[in-house]
Amino acid sequence: MSRWWTEAVAAVGDLVPPGWLLLILLLLAALASVVWTQWARLRTLRLRWPRRRRRTATTDPDESAAEPEPLEPDVLPDLPAATFVSRADQFAAQGRWAEAVRERLRAMVRSLVDRRVIDHHPGWTVTELAAAAGHNAPATDRPLSGAGTVFSDIWYGQKPATADDDAAMKGFASDVDRAMSGARVPASRRGES
């Protein structure tokens, strides 16, 4: 094998001067690099063709059966809390309990951010969120801890979500709302934006 390689390199060297051979090899390496990166980019690029949804003939269109627009799982979009509650109700109507639990927690967080109980920190864990809210509005500590436990068990502990989990989150959300209606935000938090 080594003799073949030596003879092949010698034959190419006899045909092409050494300076040109190096230039040709560099150009081939650059071309291979460009082809490789373009192939890798095209491979990861996912083209999604718009699909037409089939319309079924119904006399009473049910909004709860509509598919909520997908959101990134680990962010709190700048939407009102009522939108998250509506999305949670849509997911619950479809039996997608885990997604309903996540949207109900998002609604609670958005409500706390809007009321300036906490600042929005995208990297916070559920535990950090409950601690910050409990520090600024102590009446929210217990329901937020409970909501955080339900959420964490489902999303991190891989526990199958049920209708009972969604009902528990509804209860925690109403407890947070009730606590916030009577709570006063500390003066140091009112002036912050």
**Strands annotated E in 13-160:** none
> What's the rounded mean pLDDT across residues 124-144?
82
Q: Which domain holds residue 16?
A: 8-42
Q: What percent of the chain has pLDDT over 90?
A: 20
Same domain, 30 and 121: no
Is 59 within a domain? no
Same domain, 12 and 96: no
Total of domains in the chain: 2
The structure's pTM equals: 0.57
Give the phi and the psi of residue 110 in degrees, each rounded to 5: -60, -40
pLDDT digits (tens, 9 = 90+) for 68-95: 666 555 556 668 888 889 999 999 999 9
Same domain, 128 and 74: yes
Same domain, 132 and 74: yes
Is 169 within a domain? yes
**When comparing pLDDT for 5 and 159, which is higher?**
159
> What's the rounded mean pLDDT across residues 165-187?
81
Is 50 within a domain? no
Residues 6+ apart with CB under 8 A from 177: 111
Same domain, 135 and 186: yes
Closest CA to 112 of 83, 134, 91: 134
**Strands annotated E in the chain:** none
> What's the rounded mean pLDDT across residues 118-134?
77
Of 87-96, 122-131, 139-148, which gets the smallest average pLDDT?
Answer: 122-131
Same domain, 36 and 75: no
Q: What is the dihedral of CA 121, 124, 126, 128, to 10 degrees?
A: -100
Structure tokens given for 164: 């009972």
Same domain, 31 and 104: no
Same domain, 12 and 99: no
Same domain, 99 and 142: yes
Residues 6+ apart with CB under 8 A from 160: 154
pLDDT band at 192 (very low <50, low <70, confident <90, very high): very low
* CA–CA distance, 80 with 90 (Å, rounded to integer): 16
Is 60 within a domain? no
